[in-house]
Amino acid sequence: MKTITIQVPDEVYAACEREAALSGRSVEQCVMEFLLKYGPRPQPELSEEERRAAMERLMRHAGAQSLGRPTGAHNECIDADLAREYASTHEEAR
Protein backbone atom coordinates (compact mmCIF):
# COMPACT_ATOMS: atom_id res chain seq x y z
CA MET A 1 0.00 0.00 0.00
CA LYS A 2 1.22 3.52 -0.83
CA THR A 3 0.91 6.68 1.22
CA ILE A 4 -0.51 9.86 -0.29
CA THR A 5 -0.71 13.33 1.23
CA ILE A 6 -3.30 15.77 -0.09
CA GLN A 7 -4.40 19.24 0.90
CA VAL A 8 -8.14 19.90 1.10
CA PRO A 9 -10.13 22.98 2.11
CA ASP A 10 -10.94 23.25 5.82
CA GLU A 11 -14.65 22.64 5.19
CA VAL A 12 -13.91 19.39 3.35
CA TYR A 13 -11.73 18.15 6.18
CA ALA A 14 -14.39 19.15 8.72
CA ALA A 15 -16.99 17.14 6.77
CA CYS A 16 -14.63 14.14 6.81
CA GLU A 17 -14.13 14.54 10.55
CA ARG A 18 -17.91 14.64 11.11
CA GLU A 19 -18.41 11.50 9.01
CA ALA A 20 -15.61 9.75 10.89
CA ALA A 21 -17.07 10.68 14.28
CA LEU A 22 -20.57 9.57 13.26
CA SER A 23 -19.36 6.23 11.96
CA GLY A 24 -16.77 5.53 14.66
CA ARG A 25 -13.92 5.39 12.16
CA SER A 26 -10.83 7.48 11.52
CA VAL A 27 -10.74 10.25 8.92
CA GLU A 28 -8.25 8.13 6.97
CA GLN A 29 -10.64 5.16 6.93
CA CYS A 30 -13.52 7.34 5.71
CA VAL A 31 -11.40 8.87 2.94
CA MET A 32 -10.12 5.43 1.90
CA GLU A 33 -13.67 4.07 1.74
CA PHE A 34 -14.76 7.05 -0.36
CA LEU A 35 -11.84 6.61 -2.77
CA LEU A 36 -12.48 2.89 -3.12
CA LYS A 37 -16.17 3.49 -3.78
CA TYR A 38 -16.00 6.54 -6.07
CA GLY A 39 -12.40 6.71 -7.27
CA PRO A 40 -11.03 5.64 -10.63
CA ARG A 41 -11.23 1.96 -11.47
CA PRO A 42 -8.28 0.14 -13.02
CA GLN A 43 -8.94 -1.00 -16.54
CA PRO A 44 -8.73 -4.75 -17.13
CA GLU A 45 -5.85 -6.01 -19.21
CA LEU A 46 -7.26 -7.31 -22.49
CA SER A 47 -5.59 -9.62 -24.94
CA GLU A 48 -5.34 -8.42 -28.53
CA GLU A 49 -8.20 -10.79 -29.45
CA GLU A 50 -10.43 -9.41 -26.65
CA ARG A 51 -9.58 -5.84 -27.67
CA ARG A 52 -10.43 -6.57 -31.32
CA ALA A 53 -13.73 -8.26 -30.34
CA ALA A 54 -14.66 -5.26 -28.16
CA MET A 55 -13.92 -2.85 -31.01
CA GLU A 56 -16.04 -4.94 -33.39
CA ARG A 57 -18.97 -4.83 -30.91
CA LEU A 58 -18.59 -1.06 -30.62
CA MET A 59 -18.38 -0.51 -34.37
CA ARG A 60 -21.65 -2.39 -34.92
CA HIS A 61 -23.33 0.69 -33.45
CA ALA A 62 -21.46 3.26 -35.57
CA GLY A 63 -23.94 5.10 -37.76
CA ALA A 64 -26.91 3.33 -36.17
CA GLN A 65 -28.64 6.63 -35.36
CA SER A 66 -29.62 9.07 -38.08
CA LEU A 67 -30.63 12.63 -37.31
CA GLY A 68 -32.00 13.03 -40.82
CA ARG A 69 -29.43 15.69 -41.62
CA PRO A 70 -25.67 15.86 -41.97
CA THR A 71 -23.68 16.59 -38.82
CA GLY A 72 -20.07 17.14 -37.89
CA ALA A 73 -17.73 18.89 -40.28
CA HIS A 74 -20.28 19.57 -43.02
CA ASN A 75 -19.27 23.19 -43.73
CA GLU A 76 -22.54 24.33 -45.30
CA CYS A 77 -24.51 23.14 -42.26
CA ILE A 78 -22.05 24.77 -39.88
CA ASP A 79 -22.28 28.06 -41.81
CA ALA A 80 -26.09 27.90 -41.79
CA ASP A 81 -26.15 27.19 -38.04
CA LEU A 82 -23.81 30.10 -37.33
CA ALA A 83 -25.78 32.50 -39.55
CA ARG A 84 -29.04 31.48 -37.85
CA GLU A 85 -27.56 32.01 -34.37
CA TYR A 86 -25.97 35.36 -35.23
CA ALA A 87 -29.27 36.59 -36.69
CA SER A 88 -31.36 35.39 -33.75
CA THR A 89 -32.39 37.85 -31.04
CA HIS A 90 -32.92 34.90 -28.68
CA GLU A 91 -36.20 36.44 -27.54
CA GLU A 92 -37.79 33.00 -27.21
CA ALA A 93 -35.33 32.12 -24.43
CA ARG A 94 -36.71 34.78 -22.08
CB neighbour burial string for 1-29, b if at least 16 within 10 angstroms, e if fewer? eeeeeeeeeeeeeeebeebbeeeeeeeee
Predicted local confidence at residue 68, as pLDDT: 74
Q: What is the pLDDT of residues 25-82, one digit of tens each?
A: 999 999 999 999 999 988 889 999 999 999 999 998 887 777 776 666 677 878 888 8
Predicted local confidence at residue 51, as pLDDT: 94
Predicted local confidence at residue 39, as pLDDT: 93
Predicted local confidence at residue 91, as pLDDT: 78
* Whole-model pTM over 0.85: no
